[in-house]
Each structure stands twice: as structure tokens, then as C-alpha cells.
Structure 1
Amino acid sequence: MNFVENQLRKAKRVKVSVEEVEASEVVAEPVANVAVGGVEVIDIEDIIRKEIEAKIKEGIELGDMETIMEEEVEAINDKEDSVGTSNEGLNTLANLGITTTARAVDRRKKQISEAHEEYIEKVLENRSENAFILNIDDYHNIHVNRQPDTTSTSWAAHMATIIANPCPTSAIPQNRALNPKVIDDKLIMKHLDERFIVNLGISYYDRRQKYIGKCSNDKLMEKLTLHSYDDRLEEKKKSNRHIQNAILFDFGEICLKSVEDYTKAPQIVYNQKPMQEYLSNNVVPIVANWPGQFFIRKAIAHQLLLNNEIIPSCVTAFIPMMGPLHVFLNSRELVFKKNWFLFNEVYKGIFRQKKELGKKPQPWRIDLMLHIMHMAWLNISNLVYSKFGHTCKNIEFLYLTNLLSNLIPLVLEVYAVHH
């Protein structure tokens, strides 16, 4: 895992003239209220003192107390470094006896990075018989100063997370995992005729009648909730959802906006020694969003059809696939955007709002509107069909019934029910 410098430290210093310093009045402030390195120190000494008193009451020995205090200091260092405290700020806190120096923080981060590399190798060796699912996604800290300077227009750091999830199933063999034609038109037409066209005549509404049933309020809330795996959330502590078995290969500065960017991520995975032997006989599916699908498939096509030397040969050991969560998020947003005018009128009618519904509302609001429309249609669908009949050919009627009977239930259940 690469040692990545904290991008938030890139803070500009305010120049103050000597005359301004002499003219300003010096006011003594307690350490608890001094802003150091752009971060306000909030009564850290008092927090440490209370922690010591609490541990003494618990009957902890002196040796254990020293270990606990070292962990407290490391936690403070990590917190100050993560929020972007400059090196000068960390060194000032060290002079006050609160934290260690900035050099010690960087040294500890490098040790953690090296220890993580050893951990990855051990896990990969122990899981060499299992299948892996790789996930590549981008992240950028948008809440930063975007004032341009002489070298860049923004301080936003574009990062990429590369995570693998080991599966209990056996490894996927590489034998004929990729079609050498990449796009086989004859194979596509064959499966369209034999598998898909036959089933397109049956609507999703008719198919779901076999397993539809009553749903409790708790189960309904579970379906409509997009869960977060942040350890700091109370929901995470009470839930069985976790990513404890996930393997973090790297968290590096990659934009993920081109073929070159998306070939860097598989190369990082391939550079692990255990993975080189693993990928020589097996393949790893990559779950990615639409740009990831497009650029990775393009890289594979360039390698197989054009023998492009710029593309590393290891990309053929990775199979891009669209994950069910990406399908769920994209389809739900697409249905909402295309029918926004209808959802907007329903929203204003139900909640008595004069203000229009946003074009890009929060995900929970989209789920709420889709669920309301779905439940309302279940109550009135028989009455509507009794008035118009099932053979009505009006284009508006067919569009609305298809939206309410098929599309909305499908996007609500494609991930929550079927996966």
C-alpha cells in the first residue's frame, strides 16, 4: 500500500508585516482555546486528565496506563493529521506536550503502510483457493479551497479505492473466461432469440405475483435504506453488516477518467506477488460503475484485438461486471428523472408543498416517492383496469401502466429483494 501524503495540509500561510505585529495587542489565552495550524485545540489536557482518572478508578496498573496514554496520543495525532493540521501545527502541539512531532506522525504512517503490505500478502496466501471480487471506485474531497494558484486550479485530491472481497466459493479458472472476439454478434443474437425474447412477453407485474406477500414495517425500512459502513455511525455498531473480510489493496491518487487510469488499478493488484501466481490460472471479476465498465472493457479490447503494448497484459485476467447495487442506483435515478413531472405533481399533492420537488433529490426521497407511487397503484389498479380494460391501446395509458406496474416495482426490488 502506497504512503499517501495528506492533501489537506496544503494550506496557504497568511503574511503579516512587522508593523502589524507590533501594533497588535498580545492577549494571553489558555491552551484549550488556542487555534494551532488552523485547528482549534479543544481542552485536550482536560480530556487526558479525565481519562487518567477514569482508568485509575478501574484499577488499571501503571504499565497498562502508559500503553493507554500512548494510544491516546496516537489517536490525537491521527485526528489532527486527518483534518489537515500543518506540520508547523503538529510541531507546536508537540512543544506544548500534547502530541508528537510531524516527523513522528509520518514515520508511524509509513510503518502502518509497510505492515499493511505484509498483512495483504498473508491474507492472499491463505485465500489462494478462493474467488475474489474486486471493486474500484473513485473519491475526491470536494470540500476544499478551490482558489487557483500558480501551479493548480484546485486542491481537490482525486483518490481511488481498490478493495477485494474474498468469497467462500472456489477460484474462477481462466479457461475461456474471455471471448477472443470481445463482441460476438452471432452469440448475442442466439441468446436474444432463445433466452430473452421469449421472456419479454411476460411483464414483471405478472412474474412477481408468485412471490409477493405482506411486508412488515421493519422489513420495509430495511429495503428502503441505503446503508453506510462507517464505523463511527451508531447504525454500524448495531448491525451485522460489515466489511471485516475485505482486503484494501490501495488508496491512491488516481483520477479514474481514462483507459490509462483504469489500467493502473489492476496493475496495483497484479504487483502483489501472491496475485501474480493467482492470476496466471484464475480471473477476478471487477464490480465497477459505468465508466469503469467502459474503460476496462476498452483496455481489454485493445489488448486482445490490437495488441496494444501500452496496455498491460494483466488486464485480461480481470472481468468487468455491473454490480446489482450500481444497477439499482442507476435505474432508480433514471426512472425518477424521466418521469419527474409526474413525481413532482404527486409530491406537491401529498405533502401540500408549493415548492417543486428537486430534480436531483436525496436518495431517500427518491425511494419514498417510488414506494408511495407503488403502494397507491396497488390500491387502484383493479379499479383502473375495470374502467379501461386490459386491451386499451392508448399510448398514454400503456406508458403509465407500464411505469406503475413494471418499472417502479422493478427498480425498488432489483437489489433489496433479488440480492
Structure 2
Amino acid sequence: MSTDSTCSFNSTDCKGAIKQITNNTKIPITNKEIILVGMKLCQTHYNKFIINEAHNLKHNETCSHPKHDEYKSQSKNTNKRSKNLNLEKVPKRLMLILNLDETAKICSLCRKRTDKDPDYNILEEYNAPISKKENDDNILNIGNHTYSFRKDVLYSGEELKQFESDYQEIITQLTISNEISLSDKIKKMSNILYKNQRVLKQKTIYDPDEFKIMLEEADADLIGFFDELYKGTNPNTKSDKTNNNNKKKLVSLCYFLASINNKYINGIKADIGSYLETSGASASSIDTLANIGLSVSRRTVNRQKTHISEDHQYTVNDYCLQNIENMFILNIDDYHNIHRRNQPTLLKTHDINHFVTILLNSNSNIPKIPYYSLNRIPIHNPKGVDFKLIIDYIDVSFMSKLGKSYYQQNEMWKQYLSDDSYENKLEFLTVHNYDGRVQNQQELRLMKNSKLVDFILHPLHNTKDYIESSNILFKVFEKIEQEDYLNNFVIPTICDWPGQVNLRRAITLRLNKKENSGISPQILSIIPMIGPLHISLNSRETLFQQYHFFFEMIYHDLFEANKILAQKPKPRLINLILNLTFYGWKNIRNLIINHFGNIKDVEYLMMIDLLDNSLPLTLDIYTKLFRCGFFEGYLESVIKIWILFQRLHRHNYNKAPLIFLSDVFYWTLNDHPILDILKNNLPIFNDYFVENFHSSLRYQTAESNTDKQIIQKAKTIDIERNDDGFKNTFINTRNTNISKVKLISLEKKVSLFLLSLFDIIYHNIGKSSNNNNNNMFELPSFNNRNVNVKLFPLAWSTSNIPDNDKI
């Protein structure tokens, strides 16, 4: 007996000690396909499937003969009540004509009457009982030949040849009679799949090897069945990839054959119907495939989706209870159903619905975060954003480091960060592509630990909206009677700028006005943090737009000169150009710096600041520093990125990093436990999860969907997020990768362009001019373009502008 493991059924009914099923355990025949040797059962399930079932079988044992009642009524002892039927196994010779299997039992009366019943003994399949007379023991009749096996009988060579021939014929007949027909194998397979889906509530198995093992372990007669089907695909003439795909198709074929045998085996058809509906297939298309037998009907799909949506709240409660001892991460974000540009009509300006997504994430290895530190200091700074604290910490701990470019500092951090391999570069290019179908970042895209709390039709524009959205989460904890979590522990909330400022405003109102604020005290359990993904995205877009004239030159050099580069391209194109520019610069960096030396030409220093500091900073702050969990480097880079936002006058985001810095310095000063959790588990404090969820929802909805349909789809996506066997097996992922050769070629092309540009800059040293002493400079190397001093290093934003004549 074992007490240190769980029951194989692992349900809420499990109680009592755990017992292991061994070869000596007498498993009732009715449960042999469910209970296998090696399984572990709690006392409840052991009683149910072993002890109670054996008792029921013995108590309810009856004769299985189809004419038992008829024979009994004809017996002389009809009126006598028999206490013992004298049941015995059905003789093999009678199994076929009685249509009984080897587990059935009949009484001796029925066995005797069967041999005398003309309904049976005239059948071609009937075999008479074999005589047990002693004088027949050594006599064998084969066809027209009779053989006597006695020591005193000798046979000629011709007679021995005839005997050998007759013997081989018998062996052949025995082999043929023991071979199970294809129809019987399909029936056996159907019984197994039905039990798996309907009785054991197991998911459809799509892996060919797992499917084959499952069949063969369930029924020895199916050993080699899947292999025979596979041989029929002519595998010797096909590639490994084609053979693997054919195996997957054979698994689906087996399910389709089983569903024809039993319509309740519809797991794969339900998955197909759900996917078709998700992909926007019409109702008639789904119903047509249902008529063919490849899908369930659209009505069935809708019924399943409705059931999932209605049960969603129970799954939320279960998720919170299962993780109540762990830290939660909250995402609150807005979502709109814009699939194309909207044109106003006479009745309304737009047809856009705004929703609120409330998403939780958790990790079983991270403990919950207390509200108070060990010395009873609350997690919220009563001063709000403490600017004096920020200035003091930057002055003491970071000011000396700000003199180095990010590239120089990054060289000292290499051991903590991911390298620049081809695979990692592909990851960097798709960092702001949240589509779950993209091959890169599949671990993040799976979202296995996330949970949609709710998805509601509601605006998210002001503090009141954020308070109402937070209350939805608080009500969940109230339902599961875990308000203590909200009173004593905190939930970090990763959000964009509006989320951070509005939630923080609500917290400040509660701290200052308390009950008079009208805000629930549970709002203090929320810890707003700026999302690192939003910092990365906004810094890249800001840098690209401000230096658009330069990146446009690279774009035309890489592609065609007549192509127009949008002022605000899609994130994927921005990522491509920024990454190619940086790695092109990296190839020639030392050559350029050694050649120019300490020259203080404004064009040269502008390019050095961009290529050696701002550009790698925006590329690395999320993809390397944050995702690698290097907290010290991330914190220093947040300071640098705030300086960049401030210099380039980026509205709102020139304040967002300061709020994060104020909190971190306050927690450091008071030794709050959240700081260690933040340092050791930085990547989970992420806003990627909600962006990925929105991408999945946008892909699986259409502009024609109503608000109720979108809400239902959101909850369905959440429920099915881990049920991805069908998608992983049959649905193609999107390969957005650039080949390694192509990527290296583009990087070298950028290197050549930069070399030619720096050559022009070298010949124009000292020719840049300040127009009328204002903030605009004319740059001869960039077609005499006028640019603002905010694009130059910080020194040009001071009263003492660098002098070219001084070293």
C-alpha cells in the first residue's frame, strides 16, 4: 500500500489510502479495460471498481443463454426454485452459434439442451460434442482418410505424405479460423474509443505512437492493426515527413471509422467543427462536412460553445483556488473589434465595440506577496511618486554609469544575456508579433498558466472604468471566500500608461480619503506597473519616427528607391529595419570609431548616439534584459530609456518609467519582499499575455460578430487554451522567418550603406550649421536636412554646447 501518490482517477471523489493494482489483484471482468495492472486507486475507487463490482457480479450472475427461460419452462423442475444454476463457461464450439463471447457463462441445463435443439444443431457452424470413449483416443479421421496411432501399425511412404498433406491443411484452417476479421477489429477499436471518450472522459489522442500504444494495450487483438494500416500507405517510397503526416491522417481515419460504427465517438469531429467555426466557415459549410461525416453540425458546435461559455465562471473560481497560495499577476487592458477602417454613416460615426479584458497569470514556484514588509512598512509609498527619492538614487547609484553608451555597458553584461545567434535574431524580429500561430516564442504564446477572469463590454477610459473593472476581480475572491488574500497580499498589475495612471489615481484617493473616497479598500491590493512590452514598443516607434529620415535612406537602399516608407509602419517592419541597422553597425563599429577618434562633429556624434546607445537600448530592454531576467541591467536601462523619452519629448512615456523607478527605490529603501520576487522572477511581470490573448481573439472573430459572440469566443479561447492537440497536429504554423543567408546578406548591405554614409560625414566635418541660434541644425550629409537638437546627444540640450576645438 502506498500513501505518497495520487489516485489514477484524480477526482474530487478520491478518499482514503492508495492501493496499487498488481498481478495478484482479482480485477472483475467488466472492469478489466478500465483498471490495469500498475494503476493506483484510492480506497473509494478500489471499493467501487474491485470489491463492490466483484460482489455485484457474483450476486447477479445469470445464465447468458438466449433461450434460458424457454429451456427452464420446459424442465420438469420448473416450479422448484434453484439456489445454484451450476454456471460454466460457454464451450468454444457453441460461442459462434449462441453469439456469446468467452466471458459469458451458461448453466448445464442450457448446454445439454443446445445440443438437442434443432435451432442450433442443424446450423453449418455447429460442432457436436467430441466423444470421450477410450477406444477412440488413438483414431483420427481427416476427410476420407482414417489414421490409427498405435505402435503396432506401420504406414508406407505414400501414406505418410498424405498424412503430412492433411496435417498442413488442418493447420491452415486453424490459422484462418483464428484470424480476426477487419470488421471485428473496427468494432473492438470503436468500443475502446467510446469508453475513452464517454466513460473515462479522456481527450482525443492525435499522436500516432500514443494512439497505437493505447489500442494495443487495451486489446491484444489489435496488436499490429495500426501498423497494417500504415503499410498500406506505401511508406517505403515516401519521405519521413510525408510518412509522419500519413500516420496523423491514419489516426483521424481510425476515429472516423469508429464514429461510423458509433455516432457518439465524435471527439475529432467536434474539434474540426470548432476549428471551422473559428476560421469563419459558414453554417452551410460545416453542416455539409457533417453530412459527409467529417464534422459535427453547426448547431452542435454552437451548443458546445454556449456550454463552455456558461461554465467559464466555475473555471475561474477553480483557478483562483488552486493558486491561492501563489502570486497572481493581473492584466487589465482594453480591446476593440476593429478589423478594418470604419467609415461614418448618416446614423453613427463608427461601429466599434469596446471591451475590457481582465486576465490573471500565476506560477506555482512564486509565493504570494505580503502587503507589509517585515518591519510593517506598507507596499504603497504614501508620497506617491517620490521624485526626491528618484533623484537621490540616480545620483548615488547610476549617474556615473550614464556616461557610457548602452553598447559599452552591454559588453559587460554578456554573460547574463542571450547571444546573437540566428535563432535568437528571429525571436527579436517577432517580439511585437503576438499571433499564436507564429513559430517563434511558442512557449510564451501557449499561455498555459494564464486565466481570463472576465471579458466584458465596457469602456476603459478613466479612473472610474478601471475601478469597476478591478471590482470584477475582487468579486471572484469574494465568491470563493478568499477576501483575506486581498486584505493581506498584493497583486502586481502590468498595464499600459492609461492603466498605470488611472489605477494609481484610485489608490492615492483611497489612501488619502479612505472611506470618503467611495473606493473599496481592496484597491490597495493592486500594484500598477508599466508593461515592459509597452516600453519596448513605444521606444522603438518613437525612435523610428524621430529618425525617420535616416531609416528611410536604409529602407530605400535595402529595397527599392521608389518604395514609400510610411511615417508609422507596422511593428514588424520597424523591428526588421532597427535590427538590421544595429547588426549592420556592429560589423563596422570598431572601424568607424577608430577612424573618427575624438571628433566632436555634430553629424558624427548624432549617429554614434543613435547607433551605439539609443538603438541597441530600445532593442534590448525587453528582448534581452527583461526576458532573460537580468534585473540590474533592466533597472539601469529603464533609467536610460526614460532619458531617451524625455529627450525626444515622448508624451506620457517620459513619465511612466519614473513611476516604476519610484516604486523600486521605495521597496529597496524599506526592504520589501516584493523586491526579491521582482529580481528573481522578472519575466513573469509581463504584459505579453494579454496582448497574445487579444491577437488570438482578433484572429478568431470577424467584423460581422456581435458583442455577445465576441464575449463567448473570448471565454471559449480561454477554456480551450490547453486543449491544443488538434491544432498542433493538423494546423500549419506561420513561418515568418528570414533565411540565415538572407539575413546575413541584408546586414552586410546595411554595413556597406553605413560605411558610405560615414565617409560622407567625414568629408563634411564642421560643415553643419545652427540656423539663427535656434534649436534647428542643418546637416549637409543628409541632403541639408534641418533637424531638432533633441536628436543629438544630451550635451546639445545644455547651455554649454560641445566645442569642436576642444578634446
**SS state at 1:165 partner:** strand
Cα distance, 1:79–1:236 mapped onto 2, change above 3 Å: farther
- The 1:301–1:378 alpha-carbon spacing in structure 2 relative to 1, beyond 3 Å, is same
Contact 2:427 2:440 in 1 (8 A): no
- Return the alpha-carbon distance in structure 2 between the equivalents of residues 310 and 187 of structure 1: 30
Relative to 1, partners in 2 of residues 1:405 and 1:277: Cα closer, same or farther, differing over 3 Å?
same
Quote the Cα distance in structure 1 between the aligned partners of 2:568 and 2:602. 28
Distance (Å, rounded) in 2 between the aligned partners of 1:290 and 1:397? 34
Counterpart position of 2:604: 397
For the Cα contact (< 8 Å) 1:229–1:242, is it kept in 2?
Answer: no
Other-structure match for 2:422: 217
In 2, Cα distance between equivalents of 1:74 and 1:346: 47
Query: Do 1:229 and 1:243's aligned partners in 2 also have CA atoms closer than 8 Å?
Result: no
| Larger radius of gyration between Structure 1 and Structure 2 | 2
Q: Contact (CA 8 Å) 1:229, 1:236: kept in 2 or not?
A: no
Q: How does 1:292-307 map to 2 (within 5 A)?
A: 292-307=499-514
1:403 positional shift: 0.8
| TM-aligned CA deviation for residue 181 of structure 1 | 1.8
Task: Determine if the alignment matches structure 1 residue 194 to structure 2 residue 399.
Answer: no
Distance 1:363 1:237, change over 3 A: closer
Query: Is contact 2:532-2:622 (8 Å) kept?
Result: yes
Contact between 1:300 and 1:315, CA under 8 Å: does it hold in 2? yes
**Partner amino acid for 2:577?**
M
| Residue in 1 that maps onto 2:804 | none
Q: Map 1:176-325; keep pairs closer than 5 Å.
A: 176-212=378-414, 215-226=420-431, 233=437, 235=439, 241-273=445-477, 274=480, 276-307=483-514, 309-325=517-533
Deviation at 1:61? 5.7
Amino acid at match of 1:157: N
Give the alignment's TM-score, normalised by structure 1.
0.74
Whether contact under 8 Å (1:284, 1:318) holds in the other structure is: yes
> Structure 1 CA distance, aligned partners of 2:463 and 2:338?
24
Q: Answer whether contact 1:136 1:288 (CA < 8 A) is retained.
A: yes
When residues 186 and 77 of structure 1 are mapped into structure 2, their CA distance, relative to the original with a 3 A threshold, is closer
**Aligned 8 A contact 2:432 2:537 in 1:** no
Deviation per residue, 1:300-319 (Å, 9 max, x gap): 22222344534333222101
Q: For 1:82 and 1:261, how far apart are their aligned partners in 2?
A: 32
Deviation at 1:200, TM superposition (A): 1.5
Equivalent AA in structure 2 for residue 191 of structure 1:
Y
Deviations 1:127-152 (A, max 9, x none): 111111111122111137655465x5
Distance of aligned partners of 1:292 and 1:239 in 2 relative to their CA distance in 1, 3 Å threshold: closer
Alpha carbons of 1:353 and 1:239: their partners in 2 closer, same or farther (altered >3 Å)? farther
Unaligned runs of 5+ in 2: 1-248, 373-377, 628-807
TM-score for both structures, normalised by structure 2: 0.40
Q: Distance in 1 between matches of 2:258 and 2:457?
A: 43
TM-align CA RMSD: 3.6
The answer as to 2:577 corresponding to 1:369 is: yes
| 1:331-410 equivalent positions in 2, closer than 5 A | 331-390=539-598, 392-410=599-617
**1:46-65 superposed matches below 5 A:** 59-60=257-258, 65=263
- Any conservation in 1 of the 2:463–2:502 contact (CA below 8 Å)? yes
* Structure-2 change in CA distance of 1:116 and 1:254 (3 Å): same
Relative contact order higher in (CA < 8 Å, ≥ 6 apart): 1
Quick one: distance in 1 between partners of 2:552 and 2:524? 46
1:66 match: secondary structure = coil
1:253-284, Cα deviation, whole Å (9 max, x unpaired):
12211111111221111111345221111011
Q: CA deviation at 1:202?
A: 2.7
Identify if the C-alpha distance between structure 1 residues 125 and 409 changes in structure 2 by more than 3 Å, giving closer, same or farther: same
- Relative to structure 1, the CA distance from residue 406 to residue 57 in structure 2 (aligned partners, 3 Å threshold; closer, same or farther) is closer
Q: Deviations over 1:327-372 (max 9, x none)?
A: 1111111111111011011211232322331111122211121122
Give the counterpart letter for 1:203 in structure 2.
S
**Structure 1 unaligned regions, length at least 5:** 1-50
Instruction: Give me the identity figure in percent.
Output: 33
SS at structure 1 position matched to 2:356:
strand
CA distance in 1, matches of 2:407, 2:438: 37
